[in-house]
A and B are shown apart, each in its own frame.
Chain A
């Protein structure tokens, strides 16, 4: 014991000495994001062009920002998707990050409690005016007349189609898949598909994927002109429009025109292995499926196309969401604020790179960029940026609502509960939830 003391003292002195003399203090900002951790593949790479996928592209983008701005120290905090329990805990503890990725549908929760900084000033300094953003993006980040985030993309549901199976089913015309224009047509085509190919028309992830049920429901109810949230305290799901949508999916389920019991990884694998005709998932899968389509010998090789959800009732509409960069309320020095401004300017300038993930860009300039049009499938899905809608801005707790409604919709579609009761239960539970908001 005694002999260790001088040694400990020496070590302490050495540590102190090492700590000193590291040069001028850098401004440090903490950036928190989901999208996963892929340091093993991308490490400190700044080659954005070569990166693939959400994780790869955002990692290389931030690395590149760091290398182009050596006077700023960027501390990247990767959290498990969707990161909201952690963010909530951080805010409750008084120590949130400087910037954090947030779904546009969630902004109203934090903004409604005054936990986010309005970003009009910051965005203006970064050279981003409201006219630079797409209508869908702008709708997503504007709350109570102010901008609370930098819109980064628009994400929505798409019909990913296996054209080889469609050809087998006799549903191809002029090189494009024949998509239904009404609910009855969809059932007829689905039955035809199954009869001719022996495979289910749809590949669906029904397990632990509330978002997909809710997306289908919201989108088609809005298309029929239904009003899901008449005011901030009430939901209306048990309507004829709502029942119609759920009934369609229930029929598909009953006639086994869809895959069953799959969670998201299983559904992705299933579609890639050519086990179904259409996988109604989102923009984020375009990159992965396109990759498959380019790989010779794979079931999807040369047989992949993607379109917005078909128009089945009412008018064209799609339920969309998007990602945004938001600033939690905290004290920031002028240098830190300036660093945030630089980061936002950088990310806005590189929005095209981000859209290689498959998400639709939030910046108008990117649509005008010919390289964007040249990206596979983008022309087919671009219309969604026009008719994509979100829930009204006064609707809070959208992710919690999605969880509750998703549970009830799952019960209804799988037949565990009668449709009417499930929708009414969903309404009741959501009303209770909304009632609790101060």
Chain B
């Protein structure tokens, strides 16, 4: 942190303007969600003045499937995050600390995966999963997300940066490689875990194309797919308030979690070593 300097007025103005631009769309959405559909159909500018109503939110709580989609998205995103953290920590430690044949080549092999766009594999993957009967299931939605070359890269760098003396000390005490990993080094990677966890969670949360073609039954709709399906052809005209209310409602849990854990998230990301 740079505690000495004070923001120049120009910088302050810039940041404030930026923040206003960030917030304005969100506020506009909230305003729209608080108006009756019929009023918005005539003129969306009516959102600037009363009367406001909670009718759209009541409708969600009563009958909409948003909560169901939210739950599916949560399960998938949490599952993916947990899986990535486990697999990438294990792999990161292996690449960073253990010597085995082809280690370097395998690492480069994994790095190349960073350049493979999803589209080059998504259609064959769809076929593969069809053969394995994995569609419309949670594993079907989680497994693709576990293939995270970035995660391995990130964790490997972090493990590399941990002092080697820790290893030597533990080995002298007769600890196994796994104990060394589990008890000594892993706890030290908490900031990296937090960063990778947030990054993975958000990536999974926002995933659109794969859930669209894999979770085609409404029981497994994630948020992205569900919200798209809810729109009647003309929902944006005759049901705008309700649509916006769904968008707000769908974002609320994440927003709340974020506000509560903001300090930890920021600290974790700030402390994460980008070595």
- List A residues at the B interface (Cβ < 8 Å): 30, 35-43, 53-55, 75-81, 85-87, 89-90, 92-95, 264-265, 268-269, 272-273, 284, 288
Could you tell me the dominant secondary structure of chain B's interface residues? helix
Q: Which of B19-27, B162-170, B225-233 contacts A (4 or more CB under 8 A)?
A: B225-233
**Given that A92-B127, A95-B135, A272-B41 are contacting pairs, would A36 and B217 also be in contact in the complex, using a CB cutoff of 8 Å?**
no
Nearest B-chain residue to A89, judged by Cβ: B213
Known contacts A41-B59, A89-B213; 19 further A-B pairs (Cβ under 8 A): A36-B233, A37-B64, A37-B232, A40-B59, A40-B63, A42-B63, A43-B62, A79-B218, A80-B225, A80-B228, A81-B231, A85-B212, A89-B216, A90-B135, A93-B214, A264-B234, A269-B237, A273-B42, A284-B233
Q: Map CB proximity to A onto B218-251 as digits: 1 under 8 Å, 0 otherwise.
A: 1000000100111111111110101000000000
Contact B231 A85 (CB under 8 A): no
| B184 interface contact, C-beta 8 A | no
Contact flags B15-43 to A (C-beta < 8 A → 1, else 0): 00000000000000000000000000111
Cβ of B157 within 8 Å of any chain A Cβ, yes or no, is no
- Chain A residues contacting B130 (CB-CB under 8 Å) are 92-94
What is the distance, in angstroms, from B132's C-beta to the closest C-beta of chain A?
10
Check B233 against A264 for contact (C-beta < 8 Å): yes
Q: Is the CB of B136 within 8 A of A95?
A: yes
Residues of A within 8 A of B218 (CB): 76-79
Q: A86-B216, A265-B237 are in contact. Are A36 and B230 (CB under 8 A)?
A: yes
Q: Is the CB of A92 within 8 A of B126?
A: yes
Can you name the residue of chain A whose Cβ is closest to the Cβ of B235?
A36
Residues of B within 8 A of A77 (CB): 216-218
Known: A30-B217, A77-B218. A268 touches B234 (CB 8 A): yes
Which of A40, A77, A80, A264 is most buried by chain B, counting CB atoms within 10 A of its CB?
Answer: A40
Q: Quick check: B42 and A85 within 8 Å, CB to CB? A: no
Shortest 9 CB-CB contacts between residues of A and residues of B: A36-B232, A89-B213, A93-B130, A40-B59, A40-B63, A265-B237, A37-B230, A265-B236, A80-B228
Shortest Cβ distance from residue B97 to the other chain A in the assembled complex, whole angstroms: 27
User: Are A81 and B233 touching (Cβ within 8 A)?
Assistant: yes
Chain A, interface SS category = helix
Partner of B135, one of A55, A78, A93: A93
> Given the complex of chains A and B, what is the CA–CA distance between A268 and B234 in angstroms?
9
Chain B nearest Cβ from A272, distance in angstroms: 7
Q: Which residues of chain A are within 8 angstroms of B64 by Cβ–Cβ distance?
A: 37, 39-40
**Docked complex Cα distance between A314 and B275 (Å):** 75
Minimum CB–CB distance from A312 to chain B (whole Å) comes to 27
A80 to B69, CA, bound (A): 14
Chain B 116-147 per-residue mask, 1 if CB under 8 angstroms from chain A, else 0: 00000000001101100001100000000000
CA gap between A92 and B130 in the complex, in Å = 7
B60 within 8 A of A: yes
Q: What CA separation (Å) do A94 and B136 show in the bound complex?
A: 12
* Minimum CB distance partner of A299 in chain B: B42
The smallest beta-carbon distance between A337 and chain B, in angstroms, is 21
A87 to B213, CA, bound (A): 9
Beta-carbon contacts of B198-225 to A below 8 Å, as 1s and 0s? 0000000000000011101110000001
In the complex, residue of chain B having the shortest beta-carbon distance to the beta carbon of A36: B232
**B72 at interface, CB cutoff 8 A:** no
Asked if B65 CB lies within 8 Å of chain A CBs, one says yes
Q: Number of B interface residues at 8 Å Cβ cutoff, please give it.
A: 35
Alpha-carbon distance A75/B126, docked complex (angstroms): 24
Whether the Cβ atoms of A35 and B232 lie closer than 8 Å is: yes
Q: B237 contacts A41, CB within 8 Å?
A: no
Of the candidates A43, A79, A284, which one forms a contact with B229 in the assembled complex, judged by CB atoms under 8 Å apart?
A79
Question: Is A37 a contact partner of B65 (Cβ separation < 8 A)?
Answer: yes
Q: Which residues in A have their C-beta under 8 angstroms from that of B229?
A: 37, 78-80
Nearest neighbor of A267 in chain B, beta-carbon distance: B237
Q: Which of A43, A80, A92 is B63 in contact with, Cβ under 8 Å?
A: A43
Q: Give A290 Cβ to nearest chain B Cβ, in Å.
A: 13
Q: CA separation between A288 and B235, bound complex, in Å? A: 12
Most B C-beta atoms less than 10 A away, residue of A76, A86, A268: A86
**Are A268 and B237 in touch, CB under 8 angstroms?**
yes
Cα(A265)–Cα(B243), bound, Å: 13
Residues of chain A contacted by B135 (CB below 8 angstroms): 89-90, 93, 95
Please name the residue on chain A nearest to B229 by beta carbon. A80
Give 21 CB contacts A-B under 8 Å.
A36-B232, A36-B233, A37-B230, A37-B232, A40-B59, A42-B63, A53-B238, A54-B232, A75-B217, A76-B218, A89-B214, A89-B216, A93-B126, A93-B214, A94-B130, A265-B237, A268-B234, A269-B41, A269-B43, A269-B237, A272-B41
State in angstroms the CA–CA spacing of A86 and B111 once bound together.
33
Q: Which residues of chain B are near A53, meaning CB under 8 Å?
A: 232, 238
User: Inside 8 A of B63's CB, which chain A residues have their CB?
Assistant: 39-43
Residue among A30, A75, A92 with most chain B CB within 10 A: A92
Query: What chain A residues lie within 8 Å of B236 (beta carbons)?
Result: 265
* Complex interface: chain B residues within 8 A of A264 (CB): 233-234, 237
* A residues near B217, Cβ cutoff 8 Å: 30, 75, 77
What residue of chain B has the Cβ atom nearest to residue A97's Cβ?
B217
Chain B residues within an 8 Å CB radius of A93: 126, 129-130, 135, 214, 216
CA distance A92 to B213 in the complex (A): 10
A86 neighbours in B (Cβ, 8 Å): 212-213, 216
> Does A55 contact B232, Cβ atoms closer than 8 Å?
yes
Task: Quote the shortest CB–CB distance from B182 to chain A (angstroms).
Answer: 14
Residue of B nearest to A298 (CB): B42
Q: Which residue of A is nearest B64, CB measured? A: A40
Q: Which A residues are CB-close (under 8 A) to B225?
A: 80
Which residues on A sit within 8 Å (CB–CB) of B233?
Answer: 35-36, 54, 81, 264, 284
| Chain A residues positioned under 8 Å from B230 (CB to CB) | 36-37, 78
Q: Specify the chain A residue showing the minimal Cβ separation from B236.
A: A265
B234/A265 in contact, CB under 8 A: yes
Chain A positions within 8 Å of B62 at CB level: 40, 43
Across-interface contacts of B129 in A (CB, < 8 A): 93
